[in-house]
Each structure stands twice: as structure tokens, then as C-alpha cells.
Amino acid sequence: MRNEVFANLEKHPLTEKQYLACTSESATTLVLAGAGTGKTSTLLGRIAYLYEVHQLDLTHILSLAFAVEAAQEVQQRVEQSLSRQYGITRNKLEKFKSRTFHSLGLYIVEQVEGKRPQLTSLIDEGALRIFLRQQFEVLSRSDIRYRQWIYHYFSYVEEMREHHPKRTLNDDYVENQAELCLANFFYLMGIPYIYKAHYAPDYYMQGMPYRCSFYLPDSRTYIDIWDKGLSEHVRQQYKAIHQSYGTRCLFYEKDVKLAEHLFAFPLDRDIVRSSGRVDQLLDGLLSLLLYFKSQGIDSLQLAQQPAPESAYFGRMFPEALIQLLLPLYQAYERHLQVQGEIDFDGMIVRATNYINQGAFVVPWTDILIDEFQDISLIRLQLIQAIQQQRESIRLFLVGDDWQTIYQFAGSRLGYIRDIEYYFGATSIIALDQTFRFHQGLCDISSRFIQKNPQQYRKKLSALKSSEESLVLVGLPAELSNQLPNEKLISRIVKDIQGKAHTARQVSCLLLARFNHQLPSDTQLCQWQSCYPDLTIKAMSIHASKGMEADYVIVLNLNAGEYGLPSEKIECYQPIQQEETYPHASERRVLYVAITRAKERVYLCYDDDNPSCFVKELQEEIPLRQLGQRDLITSVRLGVMALLQGMRRLIFDRKV
């Protein structure tokens, strides 16, 4: 049967584990498909098995994916392979549907309601961000209580982050909490101020120019903040200065509470301008809104549930965020209601309700889900509703717990680790052969990810013989300021190009934990123009999942808030922390980055500030230390192994 069903399905025959997965007769089968193990081929084999052995009509098989591109790839490969293998006509093949979850929700709602629901234009994240900013500005101008929450967020709660300096909404760095409170109050009230302005009469005290905490030019008023322990004699000296020169000055103690009582003043339209801090807050609120939507939590439910307690911030910070988000969420829901529109998550929730009510009768006997580790609660509940209505249905779930990195979008490690809790008895089959990279990289990445005991234990092997596939390069402190990322990468790319004497395009992928750490589009265009034989792309690690390249360069593996692992403290954790292993999610992020490479990975970090992941890897990998000579020599010393591997790759392919 194996040869008859799968012989000419794909270019390469299925592995033993792929075959076992494709022919599973369990009600629920979980296929653990590690990086490069051929998950799409496994999905294709499963569909062929159901069609040929179970004699299923293709309309009874539903394939689900999260991204449109992934769904389209499965659709195209099924049509090509089944047509070639079994001579199925195009009319029959068109009955098979590979859908996204959004497409499935749309289909179910349309079938029940008899018409296509009107999708909101706010499904575009950019449009939703603009909408939220507009609502934020309206609330900031018109709602006293909302302004108080903004003030509370920036002036008190955020400063509990000990690693943050006291930075105002106007991007000034102040010395104490009282100055921070007043500066933020002035900003929100639209009152122009100058921080630490020189006193106009040019007065000196103890050899230093006298400067007050703030100067308000519109009212020609100085404001000074006094330490509690400042003697009465010194206080009188300060007052005497202003009396002598006829200037107006208000004096306050460092425990000032004044600003809390001054929010009755209306705000001008342009007060909440495009400050970096406000943009960061809005980005956070947008992420929270999308997260709650993925959990099926509406604004009414959000208002009724208590804010979760953070181990670091207690309830203060989460409560502030909820109070800032709730009016925005309510405005969003009102917009959908008035316009008669629906968003994707709302459509999935409505489709689930129709199935539970029996308004939609499930027509499928088998459901296949790709990238199951990315599933969110409302999608999981949709599949549960389908399973409960049609108990005989078979579920074929393909995913990799090692690549669960979308918690911010609602996925949880527990959904794939505790699969039987959600879907009953499950056969778990781990694919054990990767077709992407060398055994060396396979071993290093597998050991790295499995240090977290909550990950499934898997043993992967590679077709390619062991190679030195991962290079650590630390940039010495004396060069880190002289050799920023773009110059370092430019030199590496140039050296790669110098070795690329081949007709074959060699791909290079630049990855970073955060988008702002990536080279600019202009720089990428320059490199691509200079080195036309290379295909160079740059993206965040999260965006790279599912992609591959010959060579991967991972930037900024440094310690700190924007390093890898990111030590950024999340102020709101809607889900109780389910993972206790340190940096569990960030470890998976680096695993995803490393396993994009087919030949070699190049990890960059500052020598004087390596992350804990770098230190861990240093115990296994010989360090490539950048030298202190000229730029070209220093970089070549650091990437010697990378370039030697590139040369072997190119000349081996030429032969």
C-alpha cells in the first residue's frame, strides 16, 4: 500500500515517521513537525491517504492554516500532486478546500445567514491603529478621568520599572518623581515649559548658575522643587533671589500632589502629539485589544473581570492599562455595531455559536490543521465545537511546540503540550528527520531548546553530515561604537559576495528580535544593488517563521530590554504565567531564528554585554573573536568560519 499510495506523490519518498503519521487511524493525531521536517509533505500525504484508502470525497476533507499563503500552498500542491498521482480531474480537485480560519468563519456565517457578512476596514492593523489614536485623542481632550489615568500611567506606575530613567512624556529626563509628575501634567495640559532653564538674571550660587526645575514662558513663572530636608534658611535664600529680581516662582516639596487636582482644564486638540511614549502606549493597547479579541473577551467581560496581578507591578499597572483600553474597546465595538460590520475574530466566535446551536451542520469527516502551535482560544473552541457536534470526525494536527512564539496573538504552549485535555485521546508522532540544515546545527539547536523541560523531547537527525554550522561573533567594546550593525553587515555581505562565484543565487537573511534593530530599506537596496548575486532580506524573527535561507545573521544578542532574550518587563499578563522556566518563550524565539538557516548561522553581540543565551552557547561553540586591527581584518577574523562554509557551499554546488 505504501508504494501505491505515496510513490510519486512528492519528489522525495516519505520518511518512516511521515508514513506512520499519514496512515494514523486515531480520532486525534498530533504530528510534531520540527524545523525543516517536511510538514507540508506530511499534510499532502495525509490527504492522499484519505482519498485513496478511505475513498473519501474531497469535499469531506477540510485543511486549515493561519496564513493565506500557507493555505494557498497546500491547495496548489494538493491539486498538482493528486492530479499527477491519481489523474483526478480539475473539477473534482476544486471541491477540496484549503482555508484559513478566517475563511472558515466567513463560510459558516454566510451559510447560516444566507448572505456574506460585511467585513470592517479596521481588520487592517494600520487602520485600527489610526482609529484608536483618534479615539485616544478625543478622550484625552474631553474626559477628565481618562486624563487622570494617562497621568497615573506615566507619572507613577511606569516608574516602578527600576531599570527605566525618569523620562517625561515630552522626552525630558528629570531627576525625581515630583519633577516627573509636574512635567507630565504640563504636557497633558498643553502648557509649554522649559526644564532646568537658566535663570534669566544669570545668578550664581556657590559658583554654579542658579536654575529652577521648570520655567513656564507663557506666564513667566518659575517652579522649583525642594527636598524635604532643605533648611528654612536656604529656602528663604531662594525666595529672596526672586524677590530681588522681581520674578515669580512657585515652590513645592518633592512629594507634590498638586497635579492630581488640576485636571478640570480642557485639553487643546494638538496636546496629545506624536510622542514616542504615547506611541508605545498605543501600540501596547492595540496589542491588548487584539489579544482580548483572540480570547473571545468583549468590552463588557473585560470591564467585569479584575485586572490580573503582576509579580512585578502588583495590580496597579494592569489596572491602569485596562482603564485606558476599555473606552477604546467600547468605541471600537460601537463602530462595528453602527456600521453593521464584523471583524475576523468576531466572525469565528459567531461561527462557533452557530455550530453549538446546530444552525450549521458539520459536513466534514476529517480536518487537518497546519501550524497548530499558533492556535488561539477562539480557534481552538471552534474546532472543539466541530468535534462535539460530529464525534466521529478525525483531527490531524501538525505543529511544533518548539516554535510556539505567538503568545501575544493568543497562542499558548499548553494547547499543544496538553493536547488530550482539549481533544481527548491523541496519538503523538514526532517527525525525526530534517531536510534543511547540517547535523551540527541540528544538534546544537535541539540541545538548546530542550533545556526547557516543558518542551516535548524529540530526537532530530539531518541528511547532511555534521558541519560547523553556528558561529558566535562578539564585537569588542572598543569597536562597538565604531562599527555599528550596518557597517558590520555590509562588510560580511561584501565578503560573501567575493566568494559567490556561481550562477546560483545565495540567500542571506538578517534577523532581529525587534524591527527597529534592522537595517533600513535604503541600506538593503544598496546592498542588493552592489551584490546582485545575493538575495538579501531583513525581517523580525517572528516574521521569519516558515522561511529559510542559506545564511542567517541574527543581530543584537545582547543583555537588556531590547536584547535576546528580551528582558523587557511585561506590565500586563492576561494569562497566568504557565511557564516557570526562565526566558522560555524567548528561547523558542532564538530557536526559530537559528533554524531558518540551511548552511550557517552568524550570531552578533557586543563583547561587553552578551546575553545569557550567548554565554550558554559559548560553552558549546568555539568563540570567533573580532580583532582590534583595521575594519576589514577584524571582521574577516570574526567570520572566517562563515566564509569558509560559504565557499564550500558554492564550489560544491558548482561541481
**What does 202-213 look like in DSSP terms, one character per residue?**
--EETTEE-B-S
259 is in an annotated binding site: no
DSSP secondary-structure letter at 524? H
Burial of 372 (0-12, 13-18, 19+ CB in 10 A): buried
34 is in an annotated binding site: yes
CA 459, CA 445: separation in Å to the nearest integer?
11
CA 471, CA 90: separation in Å to the nearest integer?
49
Of the chain, the end-to-end C-alpha distance in Å amounts to 38
- The identity of residue 344, as a single letter, is F
Q: Which three-class secondary structure state does DSSP give residue 15?
A: coil
116, 110 contact by CB (below 8 A): yes
494 is in an annotated binding site: no
498 is in an annotated binding site: no
CA angle, residues 57, 61, 66, in degrees to nearest 5:
155
CA 496, CA 510: separation in Å to the nearest integer?
14
36 is in an annotated binding site: yes
CA 318, CA 84: separation in Å to the nearest integer?
56
Q: For residue 536, which phi and psi values (nearest 5 degrees)? A: -115, 125
Rounded to the nearest angstrom, the gap between the alpha carbon of residue 261 and the centroid of all alpha carbons in its chain is 39
CA 475, CA 483: separation in Å to the nearest integer?
8
Count of C-beta atoms within a 10 Å radius of residue 406: 19
28, 63 contact by CB (below 8 A): no
Closest CA to 515 of 494, 542, 536: 542
CA 157, CA 159: separation in Å to the nearest integer?
5
Total residues found in the chain within this entry: 655
CA 108, CA 351: separation in Å to the nearest integer?
6
Rounded to the nearest angstrom, the gap between the alpha carbon of residue 125 and the centroid of all alpha carbons in its chain is 14
CA 83, CA 86: separation in Å to the nearest integer?
6
Count of C-beta atoms within a 10 Å radius of residue 649: 21
* Bond preceding residue 519 cis, omega within 30 of 0: no
CA 500, CA 531: separation in Å to the nearest integer?
10
Q: For residue 346, which phi and psi values (nearest 5 degrees)? A: -60, -35
CA 149, CA 446: separation in Å to the nearest integer?
46
139, 327 contact by CB (below 8 A): yes
Q: For residue 275, which phi and psi values (nearest 5 degrees)? A: -80, 145
Residue list, annotated binding site for ATP? 33-40
Binding site members? 33-40
